[in-house]
Amino acid sequence: MRTRTQERTVKQSILPKTKKEEPKIINLAIHLEKLTAQLNDGRELSIPIDWFAKWGIEGVNAEKLKNHEIKRGVNIYFPDIDEVLGIEAFIHGFNAPCE
């Protein structure tokens, strides 16, 4: 007969060990008025291009954002405007910091 402590140990060892993976950007689609980030967890999140102006970055349009690089899945670098947009902007919205 097993004790309760032994039962807990057995149950815990059966459960798979999972590490919560942080979301990462795996693809970015540039639309006329918005950016859509596809995340590795299956979500697709969009933000309006107009937000760049609200963050103080003037003269941004879809054409200038087509040239981009996804860095480590957490930042998007736009060399034509020399700006970095973090995943936080997609996850937390307008109040997220823009680097």
- Each residue of 53-67: pLDDT tens digit? 998 999 999 999 999
Q: Which pair of structure tokens corresponds to residue 85?
A: 């947009």
Whether residue 1 lies inside any domain: the answer is no
Number of domains the chain is built from: 1
pLDDT for residue 53: 93
Whether residue 22 lies inside any domain: the answer is yes
Q: What is the CATH number of the domain that holds 56?
A: 3.30.2020.40
Residue ranges making up the domain that contains 79:
18-92
> Whose CA is closest to 90, among 63, 67, 70?
70
Cα distance between residue 23 and residue 30, in whole Å:
20
CA distance readout (Å), 39 to 3, 43, 74, 75: 44, 5, 10, 12
The tens digit of pLDDT for each residue in 15-48 reads: 555 567 899 999 999 999 999 999 999 999 999 9
Whether residue 41 lies inside any domain: the answer is yes
Whether residue 9 lies inside any domain: the answer is no
pLDDT at 6 over 70: no
Give how far the C-alpha of residue 55 lies from the chain's centroid of Cα atoms, to the nearest Å.
18
Whether residue 13 lies inside any domain: the answer is no
